[in-house]
Structure 1
């Protein structure tokens, strides 16, 4: 069993390093691409809404949003109907990064999965889903 954990850890580190390098080419840090992905789909979310969709804590989103705002990727605006709420909106710079980041992610996936058969991929997705579910229930 420890070999599986070791391999998962190694794969995750390599994937993170590869993804980080690819995202940096577009002025985005690792993890920020996930925030962008959600906002490309639904712009103007609150940090709490975004945290729920990403399954992370709201303070994590707030801190990430502050860095992304400083990098010119996001704008924080007060909700016009409820001034207590802040909403996160993409800047033109973030919108322009959508296609290149999507392409970079496709290339990473193609490289990572090049030697994996469709049947193996199906089993891998199933196994990883089970692992995530098992560990998520421990965290709760």
Structure 2
């Protein structure tokens, strides 16, 4: 089983590097694309709303920090919520909207490249296995029945 952890770590690192390279061609850093994906679906969300909708476990403070860098890069603007001044909403800039198609294409191309040597059945099994691993690692631990072992 140790080999599994080594392989999954190596694959993750290689995919992370390749994804960062692909995103940087469009002025976006890895991780920022995840925030953009949520905002492309629904613009004007709060950092907390983005964290809740993200496909990865990501915290609100991480969204806030990343949004600061994205604002400096011209991808986002921050605006106070008109109904609740305590809330800040993140809005896409024209630059971020224009990056949507190229980034989605780059992600699709990377996924196709990474799995090019797999059969359709292997891709299906990989997706199923990774989904199960994610579910297992994010599941709430079973409650103890009070008996000690």
Residues paired across the two proteins, number: 139
Could you say which residue in structure 1 is the equivalent of 2:129? Answer: 127
SS in 1 for 2:139: helix
Length-normalised TM-score, structure 2? 0.89
1: distance between equivalents of 2:114 and 2:140? 29
Aligned with residue 83 of structure 1, among 72, 82, 85: 85
TM-fit CA distance, 1:137: 2.8
1: distance between equivalents of 2:105 and 2:133? 28
Higher percent of residues as helix: 1
The superposition leaves residues 108-136 of structure 1 with CA deviations (integer Å, 9 ceiling, x where unpaired) of 01100111111111111111111111211
Gaps of 5+ in 2: 142-149
Please tell me the root mean square deviation across aligned C-alpha atoms, in Å: 1.3
2: distance between equivalents of 1:134 and 1:14? 23
The superposition leaves residues 82-116 of structure 1 with CA deviations (integer Å, 9 ceiling, x where unpaired) of 11111000000100111111111111011001111
